[in-house]
Structure 1
């Protein structure tokens, strides 16, 4: 329970930072990622949901992956690409679980949740880097000195 609460706290802090200080890409990622976390929580409900491949969670993660790829293709920032790439790995863990029937539920859950921390770090670093450089939004890169 403490791990779940810690994740929710960290996710809200990181996505809140991106929503408050990020450009279009940072704000969009913060929104779709937060919605994904809520949707995943609603469709999985409890630990029993991770005993087998979870179709609803896979659909939610696939929808997020499509949204992240769309954001990355329209952005001129690097962090949306990394964010989408890490989420691709997390999404593929659903397929790995389906192809390996004896997959332990804890490993399935770990493969799903493991990638969230680097994703949040990349989001914060990408937004912070833009802020340090004085970039307010995409395509507004200040001229080189």
Structure 2
């Protein structure tokens, strides 16, 4: 339970950072991650019955929704870091696919594969915000979105 509290604190700090120093793509990324967290909690992530011995459908739906949002962000944003963010989320989705294809996948391994990517995703988001802030300070305003998507 302590790891969940630590993650929530880190997510809170990253959210504050995104809204104070980030622009459109940074804010969209953190809102998408917050939305997925709310969906995961509403799906009973903290109290998953069976302890990941079966595929938790609600959690898989939340991860698929976040994956779709991050892929769209990676396509539209005038940044490189959302591509890495979407890739990390795809790794989580692949864990769900593996569990659906091979149900005997050990519960502990599946739980780790589904949850471990959340921390690097926060780190990628924070570094993306930091780099955006640095570029704005050095070169002035930058475009948030690609011209081809306007």
Q: Same fold (TM over 0.5)?
A: yes
Q: Give deviations 1:47-92, integer Å, cap 9, x for gaps.
A: 4252201122111111111111111111110111110111011111
Shift in Å, 1:20:
2.1
**CA spacing shift, 1:124–1:41, aligned 2, 3 Å:** same
Alignment of 1:79-94 (within 5 A): 79-94=81-96
Q: Which runs of 5+ in 1 are unaligned?
A: 141-145
Q: C-alpha distance in 1, partners of 2:95/2:130? A: 30
- Unmatched 5+ stretches in structure 2: 146-150
* 8 Å contact from structure 2 (residues 25, 144) kept in 1: no
Contact 1:77–1:138 (Cα < 8 Å) also in 2: no
1:65–1:87 CA contact under 8 A, matched in 2: yes
**TM-superposed deviation, 1:33:** 0.5
CA RMSD of aligned residues (A): 1.7
**Structure 2 residue aligned with 1:74:** 76
Give the alignment's TM-score, normalised by structure 1.
Answer: 0.88
Shift of residue 139 of structure 1? 4.8
Secondary structure of 1:130's aligned partner: helix
Aligned residues: 140
